[in-house]
Structures are given as structure tokens and as C-alpha cells.
Structure 1
Amino acid sequence: MRRQFLTLHSGRRVHYRRSGRGQPVVLLHASPSGSATLTALGERLAQSFTVYAIDTPGHGDSDPLAEPEPEIADFGRALGETLDGLGLDRVHLYGTHTGAKVALSYAVTRPAGVASLLLDGVGVATDAERADLREHYTPTFALRGDGTHLLAAWQQVRNMYLFWPWYRELEEARYATPMPSPRDLHELTVGMLVAGEHYPLAYQAAFACDPLPLLRRVGVPTVVVASEHDPLFAQLERIPSLGGDVRVVRHRPGGSDDAALARVLAEHVTAHSAAVPDAPAAAPPTLDGADRTPVGVARGFAVAGDAELHLRSAGRGGRPLVLLPPAPASGAALDWLLVPAGASRLALAIDLPGTADSQLGTATDRTSMVEAVLAGLDGLGLDEFDLYGAGAGAGIAAGIATRAPERVHAAVIAGEPAATDLPDLAPDPLGLHLVRAWHLLRDHALRRTPAATGRSGPSVDLAVCQARVLDLVKACDTYAVALRATRSPARAAGGRVPLLAGAPHPDPLAFVDPAQDAPPAGIAADAPAILAALDAVDG
């Protein structure tokens, strides 16, 4: 499924996945994850329909709502704004757990916009159960220097498949369900960590919502289902016979969960497909449109063959500046240059293939990574540009200058990729790979900090370390491929492109001896000096 961003008139940014063609089927995920958990289901349905899987506000890559304590109706209204922004007047709607209550709220308030509704695992709790869930279910995770907050998050997600509720570790709270694979646990845990302080909000709204009054009011064809492995399966018995548009069924007649659910959902959609127009064609990747503003940072994707490259952009006009970050950090590590550059030109920072939010695709060496970045720039219509590359990004920047010198006005090469061991971060059943990633980055940050600075306070900014760890573990399977491919930076052949030496940007994986001399000379690592040096090159 292709990933895209939509910026609403309010300025709120929505991230979603889209695939297929035909009538629109909209999927809403459970807390605390994002739309990635619905990819397998979406790909099955995309064989017959246009499928949208939308990140709940505050989850995945969607901005949170403005309300400090939103209710489920607020999430329902937000869904309506998103569907309007996508040009979808009438859809088939699926929601699971939190997503089920959001879908139900929307269907009750805007029945004309919903052709069919399928609610998977809608919780029907008593008043006492709702109060208990609201008090205990959503602890926050204070950042700790030893990284154990990551293990606490992993254990919470793992317990969700052992006990209901997860925090009641009693024999009577045990339920029989298959434990997800370490990779699935990883996806759920990282989703919760990415949501951070916003992850409790959708949960709290869902726990406060009693769905029975809404089910009595719903006026669209509705199926309520739950897997026998779902802790909410037993709560189906609490739904009275409502008749009319609502029926309760079980959706696991056999086969894999996704396959069985896809069949039930497809049958329900097909039975209520009259007078539902096909979804509009997908918009191509572009740097124009409502989300392009002269200030601030927008986000998007560039298509690079069989993969997508995530980018951050600012400004418009002028000679574009393409920024390639010191992977495994994302383009956010270069916001200090991106935002000032956007005041006078278009600037965009691209996560290297296989790192942070960019897919690796078939880019397995430096040559193919250079080609992937160039393909993404081609798709965005960028013919000539300046380059800034730091760390691993410096190797790709120099490779682009060699491969396509006629397109590069000038390039700043700020350091080289670190030569260090790259540990295996494949998801571990107990979440230990998250702690390995934490200490990898924290130890490198400590080595960059002199022991005798005379400063008070922590020697490592834990919030920055957390952001870098999340960048790293989002691509735990591919980050090492990307870094190994960039360790020997190419040099522009024949001097056809002016290569300017920049003061080395702090590399997330660079070991630095605190007792060393001053760093190598080069253009100062500040935005005005870099932009002035690029502009001074005679084109």
C-alpha cells in the first residue's frame, strides 16, 4: 500500500495508506499502533476495492487533535474531515477496537456518507470496567538513561496477549490467544512509542464510550464481529438483539485471520455496493498543493521504483536544496538547515533508502541507492539542485554528483559515514533489540561529550536519543544494509561539480575521542554559512 499525506484546511496533517481501485473501503486501526497493522488486510481487499488505511490522530504519522482530552465524537468528526479532504462522499467503513468506536461514531452522525459498516472487536464494558480501564490501562513511559522504558513498553504490549486487561496478571484474567510474532510485537510497540504522550488519548476516548446507545441509533447496514482470540469476543454477548441494520456474527470460520476477515468484509461491502461511486484517482507525488507553505515543515513521499522515500520539505522557489542526513538518523536531524533554507528556496531532506521512514526496495549498494534517490527526485520534477550530505548521506551526495553532474550545481560534503560495528536488531521475543539500539546510540552520544565540560545536567539529551532510536528501529531490518553501502563515499569524477568541505555533522554512530583536537576545517556547521557558500558558487 502506498503511503501518502493529506493536509487539511485546519493545517492538521493526516497520514494514510492507499491501494487498489474501485469503491472506497476505509480501514481504521486499533490502539496503540498505526495503519501499518492493517496492511495485510488492506492488500487482500485491494484486489477488488480502493482501500484506505488511515492513521488515527496522534498515532502513526498523523498529527494529534487540538482537544486536550478528545472524546470519541471528536475522533469521528476528524475522520469526516479526512474523508472530505480525500474527496470521498460515501464509503464502506471498517474499524477494529478503538477504530470500531470511531467508525461507529462517524456512521451515526453522517449516515449518508457510509454505505456499510463493519465493527471488529467493539468493546461493550460496564461502567465499573470502563472506570478501571481508564485508570490503569494507559501508563506513560518516562525516558530512562538505561533504556528500560523501552522494555516496559514491550512488556505492556506483550501482556495484551496474555491477560485482559493487560495489567491484571491473575489466573482468572488469562485468556487463550496465540502470541504474535516478535516482528508483530515490534510493530505494535514502536507504534505506541511513536505516539508517545498522545497514545493514551484515543484509548481513553474509546474506554469512555458506551457503544450500545450508538448501535441503537445507527442507520446503515452494520455487522459486529470479533475473533474468538479477541479478549472482547465474550462481550459480543452483551449486545442485545437490535434487529434492523445491525447483526452480530463471528468472522473466523477458518484460515488465517486476515483471510477470514477479508472474506466477511468483502461480502458485506459487495452486498451494499449500490450507488457507491469509485474512489477518485490517486494524486501523484508532488511538492505543490495545500500542504506547501513558505514556513514550517511538510512531509511527503517520493516514489523510487519499487520503494518510497520519505521526505521533509520547506519553502518553495529558488534552486532546490536536497539534504541527505547522517543515517540512521532521519531527515529531522537536518531541520536546523532545512527550515532556514526554506525561507528563500525549496529545501527537502530525504531519509536514505532503508532507514527511518524510507523503504529499501532493491537498493542494496551505493550505486542503487544513488539511483533510487535520483528516481525520487525525477518523480518530483527536480532537474537541478544543490546538495548537502552528512555522514552516510555524504556518500550518497557525492555519488549523485558523480552519477548526474549536470544536475548538481554544488554539493557540501560534511563528514563521512562512521566505521563501526552494526549490531543485528532483528526483533527479539523479549524486546532486547530495543535496548541494544538504545545503548548503541546513547554510548556513541556519550563518547561525543567530554567528561569534564563544567556543565550541569545530563550528558545526553534523552529525548533526542529516543527520537534517534525510533528512527533506527523503524528500519531495524534494513538500516545496516544502507549504512554498509555508504561507508566508502564516492568522489565526483573529473571535478565537474564543486564539492565544498563542510564541518562534520555529528554522526549518530561516530565514535569521537573527547580529547581529540578541533574537528577538521570546513564550512561552519551553521545554516547561514552553508547557504552562503552554496550561493557563492558560480553557476
Structure 2
Amino acid sequence: MRITRHYLTVKGRRVHYRRCGEGPPVLLVHQSPRSSREYEAVMRQWGRQFTCLAPDSPGFGQSDPFSFRAPTTEDYADAVLDFAKAVGLSGIAAYGFHSGGIFLMNAMRRHPERFVALAVGGYPCFRPEELADVGEAYLPSFKPMPYGEHLVWAWNRLLEQSWYFPWYMPDDRRRMSLAHADPMAVQDMVMDLLAAGDAYRDGYRAALTAVYDVPAAGSDVPPALIASYAGDPMTAHIARFPPLPDGWEAAEQPTRDAHFAVCADFLSHHPAPAADLAEDRHRGFIAVQAGRFDGLIHWRGQGDVLHLHGPGCSLDLLSEDGVMIDLPGHGLSDPWPGEPPTDWAAWQVVIDAAAAHLGAKAVSHEALPCGEAVLLFPDLTPDRYGHHLVTAWANVRASHVFAPHYAVNIAHARPIDPAAMAPERLAAEHLALIRAGTAAQALHLARQAGGIA
């Protein structure tokens, strides 16, 4: 089942959201430091009975951050309500996990009239002595460092958060039963953290400093389910809840899949009204079916010339004005099915289809970097220790000192632009390269084969 992606301007702030399925609308709010991408598998399953809408919270994924510092629980909750109104929901049926559930619970407590039903995964009820564990020590600053030091921290912090809770306290008493070292699972979380940057702390802080917002017994509120599953550190908190309002229940499930099945069943009994959903028209995603490719292409801007980035880059790195796209497997566009092609014709048909859809009459290509594709774009498959992140950073940094970046000698020196060596600029290029993966080398080879310099 296809997930589509959209942008919507809400009170002057760009919000990115995913959509999937048919039926009564259900709003899904992600945890920190994730994005709506964490719900892709759930959306494909729930989309059989719901229209799933999953926005990126402010500062996460592809949504703009707040314009002010130190946003609170109420600010994130209000952002959910603002999005729901702007997208066209007249009544909210919603699911949120951890931080997402905290923000939704706050929104429901203050504005119960906006909701039809709420399902929450892993709602906390911290004891006073536990609050210190999830204070500022839980939220170190995360900013790009010149030599990629932040990447080593990011990988291991997200890896070890499944080993013990909180993540920075390696202690037998704090071990978790769902410990793993799955590089692809860690990679998904790291990519969301890299996109959020230091804003990840805002979402965490707002959630971890929230008061217990579950309405008191006897409150006049819509029905809700507070659920969890074995292995989630919040599961033990269910036993601490005081009496719940009528129509509310709390339940532990044996597995994550069982948890989502129970939540879907609950929400199916409390459907929200149908809605005509809104989106922006000046930037977004177009569905392209051309040759081997069948997926979404990310675009922005307008004009007669379609500007295309180079291998391992993205449209966000282009300086041109006008219309531009992320090529397949790059930026925010969908990947190729299977191995990316190295024949130019396969790429050309996708470009032609996108240009026709966007009304562009000509195409402009960013210049190819000099060098051999296999050396310019080495294998960046995620590994157990996160080495691929550091490799990519080193290559991006070296590319501003030598051309090609792997020829480290004075004969291949290039003029150094200090602005290009700024960690924030390197971080943007690094994120684009990691997103591209094997598509970067394939695009370079295809352009060479097609004579597109």
C-alpha cells in the first residue's frame, strides 16, 4: 500500500506529513527523536481500514521548527491541534507513542471537544526519584563537529537505548529485554536524529517535563486506550495509574504487533468524521511511473528549467532558483526498486516524466565531480558499529580540499572555501550522501555512460 507525502503551511510554518489508506481518518503522532517515517509499517497495515495521517512534529523530519526557544508540552500539543484543523479534520481520532502520546494526552485534556478517541502507547507516570534520570543528562547537545565526532555519539546513543533505560546508565538493574544490535533499525533512528539536529532536545524536554495529564476519574472526556507491550520501559507505569475516566482502559500486550492490533481495534470502534484533506501546491511529491521506477519524486519551485543535482546530492544543496527535483534514491525521493540502474536511459525517462508534470521545457545538470565513481562513492551500507557514517563524513570533508577527494596530494589540491568547511554545511552534504547510498555511484556511472558531464 502506497504512502504519499505532502506539505502543508500551518500558521506560517511548513509541516510535512505522510498519508496512507482509506476510511475514517486517524492521526498518528511520532515519538522523539523520530519522524512520521517510524509509522510507515503501521500505516501500510492500518491503511486497510483508516486514512492514516502522520505529521512530522515541529523541528523533526521535514517540518519547520518553532520560531521560539524552549517549546513546552502545550506548544507541541497545540501544533498537533493546529495541523488537524488545517488539514481538514473536524474530529480527531489519534494514536501517539511515548512523546507523541504525551502531546496528544495534553491536547485532549485541554480540548476534549476536539477529539473522538485516543490511543496511546507507553504513557509515563514517573515517580519523583525517576525524574532525575530523564532530566538534562538525558538531553546532551547535538551539533555537527568538524571531524564527525557527533556521529559516533549518535550511533552508540541510539544503539544502546535498547540495552538499558535511561540510555546513559549502563547498569544491570536497568537492562531491557528487547536489546539488539540491528544496524538497519539504528540507521532509521540516526537518520531522523540527523534531520532534527539539536532540535531533538526540544521534543524530548517538552515530553519529559510534562505533568501527568491523564484526566481524573469522572471527567467528561472521549474514550481512550492507554496500552503498552512487554519490554517497553513504560509498561511498568500502567500499574501506577490512578482511577481512569469512564470509557478509558489501560492494558499491556505481549508483543509490539499485538499492541498495534489492539489500538487499531479500539480506534475502529470510534471512527472520526471523513475529511477533505489539504496540502500545499508550491512544493511536494509527485507520483512518477516511468520505466523501472514507480514512486514519489520530491520537488519544489517553478520555472521553465528543471535543475538537477549531482550524484550523492539533493535539491536542498542547489543554489539555483526555479524548479528542481530529487532524483530517484536521492534526497526525499523514493529509491529505485532493486539495484539502481547504471544506464542513462533509465534515469532519463524519470526526468522526462517529472519535467512534463512540472511544466519544465529544459533541463540543467549540476557538474559531475571528477574521479572514478567506485572511489568517489564507496559502499555506505550501515554496519554494526556505524563506520559508514564516519566514512561518509571524511569523504565529504576531503572533497572540499582535494579533487577528487580520494587523491590526497598537492597535485590534486583545490582552493579551500572556509564557508564550505563549516560543520553545518558539511552536515547537510553528509546527510544527502547517506540518503543516496548506492544510487550516488549508479547515477555517476549512468551520466558518464550517457555523456552527461
- TM-score (normalised: structure 2): 0.89
Point out the more displaced range, 170-179 or 47-56.
Answer: 170-179
- For 1:154-175, what per-residue CA distance to the aligned partner results, in whole angstroms no more than 9, with x for missing partners? 1111111011100111221212
Per-residue CA deviations over 1:212-268 (Å, capped at 9, x if unaligned) read 45465571111111121111111222212224132110133x5xx2x4233212210
Distance 1:136 1:238, change over 3 A: same
**Residues 302, 309 of structure 1: 8 Å contact kept:** yes
Q: Which residue of 2 aligns with 1:527?
A: none
Q: 2 CA distance for matches of 1:108 and 1:212?
A: 7
Partner SS, residue 484 of structure 1:
helix
Q: Which residue type is aligned with residue 482 of structure 1? A: L
Match of residue 311 from structure 1: 299
Which residue does 1:86 correspond to in 2? 87
Alignment partners' CA distance in 1, 2:420 and 2:214: 53
Residues 308-336 of structure 1, C-alpha deviation per residue, up to 9 Å, x if partnerless? 111232xx5xx52211012211112212x
Secondary structure of 2:105 counterpart: helix
Deviation readout 1:69-96 (Å, 9 max, x if unpaired): 1111111111111111111111310000
Partner of 2:93, secondary structure, is strand
* Equivalent residue number for residue 391 of structure 1: 367
CA drift at 1:487? 2.7
State whether structure 2 residue 349 is matched by structure 1 residue 349: no
Task: Identify the residue that residue 236 of structure 1 maps to in structure 2.
Answer: 238
Q: 1: CA distance between counterparts of 2:43 and 2:72?
A: 27
Residue equivalent to 2:18: 17
Name the amino acid aligned to 2:314: S
Aligned equivalent of 1:271? 269
Residue 327 of structure 1 corresponds to which residue in structure 2?
311
Q: 2:165 is matched with which residue? A: 164
- Structure 2 gaps of 5+ residues are none
Determine if contact 1:303/1:375 at 8 Å carries over to the other structure.
Answer: no
| Match of residue 181 from structure 1 | 182
Residues 145 and 462, structure 1, Cα contact 8 Å, conserved in 2? yes
- Which residue of the partner structure matches residue 427 of structure 1? 382
User: In structure 1, what is the equivalent of residue 395 of structure 2?
Assistant: 440
Q: Please, which of 272, 276, 280 is the counterpart of residue 280 of structure 1?
A: 276
1:375 corresponds in structure 2 to 353
Q: TM-score, normalised by structure 1?
A: 0.75
TM-fit CA distance, 1:196: 0.5
In the other structure, the counterpart of 1:57 is 58
For the residues of structure 1 that align with 2:146 and 2:17, how far apart are their CA atoms? 34
2:253 maps to 251
**Alpha-carbon distance in 2 for matches of 1:238, 1:206:** 18
How far off its partner does 1:418 sit?
6.0
Q: Distance in 2 between matches of 1:114 and 1:63?
A: 25
Residue 110 of structure 1 aligns with an amino acid whose one-letter code is H
Q: Tell me if 1:486 matches 2:441.
A: no
Higher radius of gyration, 1 or 2: 1
Amino acid at match of 2:330: T
Give yes or no for contact 2:312–2:439 (8 Å, CA) kept in 1: no
SS at match of 1:158: helix
Secondary structure, counterpart of 2:186 in structure 1:
helix
User: Higher mean Cα deviation, 197-206 or 263-272?
Assistant: 263-272
Q: Is the 8 A contact 1:417 1:487 kept in 2?
A: no
Q: Residue 305 of structure 2 contacts residue 364 of structure 2 at CA under 8 Å; is this kept in 1?
A: yes
Please list every run of 5 or more consecutive structure 1 residues that lacks an aligned counterpart in the other structure: 284-288, 293-298, 339-346, 393-414, 492-503, 505-539
TM-aligned CA distance change 1:69 to 1:190, over 3 Å: same
Q: Per the alignment, do residues 329 and 459 of structure 1 end up closer, same or farther by CA in structure 2, a change over 3 Å counting? A: closer
Q: Which amino acid is 1:151 matched to? A: V
CA distance in 2, matches of 1:15, 1:66: 16
Contact in 2 for aligned 1:64/1:198 (Cα 8 Å): yes
Report the secondary structure of 2:306's partner residue: strand
Partners of 1:202 and 1:214 lie apart in 2 by: 22
Residue identity opposite 1:114 in structure 2: F
* Matched residues, number: 436
Contact kept, 8 Å, 1:118 with 1:225, in 2: the verdict is yes
- What's the CA shift string for 1:103-128, capped at 9, x where partnerless? 11122223232211111011221344
CA shift, 1:417, in A, is 8.2
Q: Secondary structure at the match of 2:437?
A: coil
Q: How many angstroms does 1:279 deviate by?
A: 3.4
- Mapped to 1, the partners of 2:416 and 2:154 lie a distance apart of 32
* Deviation sequence 1:416-454 (CA, Å, 0-9, x none): 786442311111111111111111222222215997999
CA RMSD of aligned residues (A): 2.6
Which residue identity does 2:41 align to in structure 1? A
Compute the displacement of 1:360 (Å). 2.4
Paired residue type of 1:78: A
Note the C-alpha offset of 1:61. Answer: 0.3
Change beyond 3 A, Cα 1:456–1:80: closer
Q: Say if 1:278 and 1:458 are closer, same or farther in 2 by CA, change over 3 A.
A: closer
Structure 1 CA distance for aligned equivalents of residues 48 and 420 of structure 2: 52
Partner of 1:261: 259
Over 3 Å counting, the alpha-carbon distance change for 1:456 and 1:61 in structure 2 is: closer
1-structure distance, mates of 2:163, 2:23: 39
